[in-house]
Amino acid sequence: MVREKNSVTSVHLTARDLALFKKLSAAGWLTSTQIRNHFFPQKSTNAVCKRLRKLAEERYIALARTSSTEAGLYRLAGRGKLALIEHAQGDAADIAIPTQLPRTVKHFVAVNNLRFHFEKLTDPNGSRLMFFLSERELCRPYQDSKAMLHPTLALFKMYRIIPDAIARVRIVQGGRVQEMDLAVEYDAGTEHANFFGRTKIRQYGALFARHHEQLGNFKVLTFAERIGRIVSLMRQVVQHQPPRHLFYFALMGKLNQNLWLEDAIFLDPDDYFVCTRQGHRAVVVEQELHAEVLPKHALITLPATSPYKVSLREEREERITPQNMQEYNHINRAVI
């Protein structure tokens, strides 16, 4: 326990307080519910609010509200930054205090919910999360031309792709160890599904088509609140025909399961839809499913992404080559 003093009052900082400050430094803003669930799971709401109020009064954290009816958002404050530097070996250059609320609060909160779910990724075999970086954390290396980037991040920067988050998971299964890089997207359903197809699907598809050897075992995981929205997005994937096994979808609610690493919660668009020719038009139609159980996949058993795409003409797999890669070359390079 660390004792901090000022001229008026004193507060005893605990290891949990320092962990909260560190998380706020990474996440930017957290709701009181997120803080309670992650840092005070056994405490009452009243006890949590009392502690947060004390830390806010001492200017370790700060509270902001978007309206009188919405839950407040907490961020790191000046004394919290100093506490991290003094007691947690934090580097001042790496501790950023946000100066304004996120533009889309609901989306921002959802991405941090994903952060907490990914941080719980463990199993008895030793599988675990290696890192999780949100868009906020990615902005600095993207903007700093001298920053050292992981090869995957360097490719994202080249293609001007900014995912909601990027994560790396180490999977241990049957004595075999593999690492999987994940672009993590949250879809709030506020834009037309066609926009998802024109931007994210085509952009990620072009990236993997050109750099699949460098990317290795790479997936794009998209989370949404409603199954109807997921169906619309999966239709877009099949229509645009990116490389196989690149895009997977899951409901946010499925992540509340304790061992979601091993649970079959992810949907592969090619299991449910197929793109066929009707005259001069490409039409997405439903697959005929004969199994009693709908096909779903667990994160630890997702097949390796393949540099192949489904051929409309012959309904077979066709390798992406320099000759047919040109269909990916005219994509919109706008920031996603």
Question: Tell me: the pLDDT tens digits for 186-203?
Answer: 999 999 999 999 999 999
Q: What is the pLDDT of residue 318?
A: 41
Q: Which residues contact 72 (CB under 8 A, 6 or more apart)?
A: 31, 32, 63, 64, 65
Q: What is the pLDDT of residue 143?
A: 53
Q: What is the pLDDT of residue 288?
A: 85
The average pLDDT across 147-166 equals 81
Give the Cα separation of 127 and 123 in Å (integer).
6
The continuous run of DSSP H or E covering 112 comes out as helix 105-119
Q: Give the model's confidence band at 64: pLDDT under 50 very low, under 70 low, under 90 confident, else very high.
A: very high
The average pLDDT across 174-191 equals 93
The average pLDDT across 254-265 equals 84
Q: Is 80 exceeded by the pLDDT of residue 91?
A: yes
Interior angle at CA 330, CA 215 and CA 186, nearest 5: 55
DSSP β-bridge partners for residue 59: none
Q: Is 70 exceeded by the pLDDT of residue 270?
A: yes
The continuous run of DSSP H or E covering 332 comes out as none
Q: What is the pLDDT of residue 218?
A: 94
The average pLDDT across 317-328 equals 42
Q: What is the pLDDT of residue 148?
A: 46
Q: What is the pLDDT of residue 129?
A: 94
| Ranges 59-73, 151-165, 174-188, 315-329, most confident | 174-188
Q: Give the model's confidence band at 311: pLDDT under 50 very low, under 70 low, under 90 confident, else very high.
A: very low
The average pLDDT across 275-285 equals 85
DSSP β-bridge partners for residue 73: 31, 64
Q: What is the pLDDT of residue 3?
A: 52
Q: What is the pLDDT of residue 72?
A: 85
Q: What is the pLDDT of residue 308?
A: 59
Give the Cα separation of 75 and 67 in Å (integer).
17
| Lowest mean pLDDT, pick from 84-93, 180-189, 238-247 | 84-93
Q: Is 70 exceeded by the pLDDT of residue 328?
A: no
Domains of the chain: 2-94 (1.10.10.10), 105-328 (no CATH)
Q: Is 50 exceeded by the pLDDT of residue 87?
A: yes
| Lowest mean pLDDT, pick from 74-88, 143-157, 219-233, 312-326 | 312-326
Report CA 241 to chain centroid distance, whole Å: 23
The average pLDDT across 112-119 equals 96
Taking the alpha carbons at both ends of the chain, their separation in whole angstroms is 44
Q: Is 60 exceeded by the pLDDT of residue 323?
A: no
Rounded to two decimals, what is the model's pTM?
0.85
The residue that leads in pLDDT, 106 or 289, is: 106
Q: Give the model's confidence band at 181: pLDDT under 50 very low, under 70 low, under 90 confident, else very high.
A: very high
Q: Give the model's confidence band at 331: pLDDT under 50 very low, under 70 low, under 90 confident, else very high.
A: very low
Q: What is the pLDDT of residue 11?
A: 83
Residue-wise over 298-323: b if at least 16 C-beta within 10 A, else e? ebbebeebebebbeeeeeeeeebeee
